[in-house]
Structure 1
């Protein structure tokens, strides 16, 4: 019986010692722990980790061709407003899958969908580098004369330093596709024996086009982050960057004119195929200003891209591309 009493006393003493150890923090230590638990950044470090998300968003801008490559967008920007509703699923392992619609109101029918982008990609966020690659397939009606849907295939990849005062990076892009184009054309018929002189015939000169564009972009940037601007759980990220764009593009045109006169057809047949090709060269210097504001599930992403074309040209050199995207992340 004494042996059982001895075991009971030892157990009670052990429990008392355990409770005493649990309550051994001083008032100063308790205050420090409470402060850490109340600090949002501490909780963020403890809670943040890879997780899957589903984004629903709507954007507006003037980038007609690519969702990722503004170097490609800068090759043909006009003032049309383009709406881009999007659904995107991102897995915690870094893969992403999405669908984006491109709508504009430049036709007699009002706002209509001129292409849809189906994308799949992967992104890795490491301690030293951030890298990713995305493939987008653009679907559109190839029987339409549509110069806003030049490309069907878009591949874009990047790598950059993950942190630091200056974060250098490199991005590569490849786009190719087919499209139809129609322009008003004039053909001069030489008639030296006709007292009325030469005759000018005007009609629609339509073309079937094959295009390829390759871009390489070197960049430097810095990420500024601000917390608790308007509430205790909001965040603003601002990333300004300076870019040098190199590129090469090829265009093969086949004229399929609608001028029916036999002699005019014969004259246009002389320029049946035209293959303008630009060599790989430095094409432009650009700057990009990226903002991301988030609070709770809501996010807002304005972007401004300014591009200045360097090679000799008769076209305008300066291009401005903007977009504003708002959405919810679940």
Structure 2
């Protein structure tokens, strides 16, 4: 799965959060938020990361930006491990790799107006000041479909779509190359979701951006992503090109995610399979496949061994012992 000339390469990445207990607060167990995850993203591509809430998607997004320190593994950006960067390299990386928050409003300083929020990265990195800063902020707002007059407004006066566009303007202010979009439309009204998704796509084409797009909605990921990685409880269970995943899926959890998507045509009917059981605890998980307690196809090997990620077909990677094939084309 790891190829040459990738912008971002993740190798065997792990992140454990200690659960403190006892008189001295020493950790007796660990939450396995991300457990031995590997993938790669080529420049200009969009990788969609999907899965249920709590599966580790957001943790991966923060690890690849080094907003969290890893437990083990590597994250390479342009061929260099970001966890070995010195201060100068770290500052350059901060210019080139940015984050779009799920709730942009929570990331704003409410005492600052929109112009100051969008222009702050330019000031911090010493790229603009005075009238030049004002002009660049105005251009950034135009780029994301907002009027320059909004520079004088405060965040609480904006609509939810405008807030997210302001967050996107801030994320591209430094001519970023890599952007992690963490559930960027989940907090938006349905009426403005398409507008934000179209804007993300237009910005990618215009500025040659590379995205890690995190979402629980596999329909959205299909529209935007070139590749999809499916996560379950800290593990990567399937990875493939987008259309390949929708036509041929080899993991029962991927099939369950697709089956949960509602049919848009009211005259169409599809047999629905409800995924039974609860998500197991990520605290010191038992040996075996993480999904096996909820999998109707599980065999004894699934309960004893953790399935490795293997290539089922060219570019299509799956972690499953069961010879499962999805129900065919999904529309």
TM-score, structure 1 as length reference: 0.17
Q: Which has the larger radius of gyration?
A: 1
Task: Tell me which protein shows more helix as a share of its residues.
Answer: 2
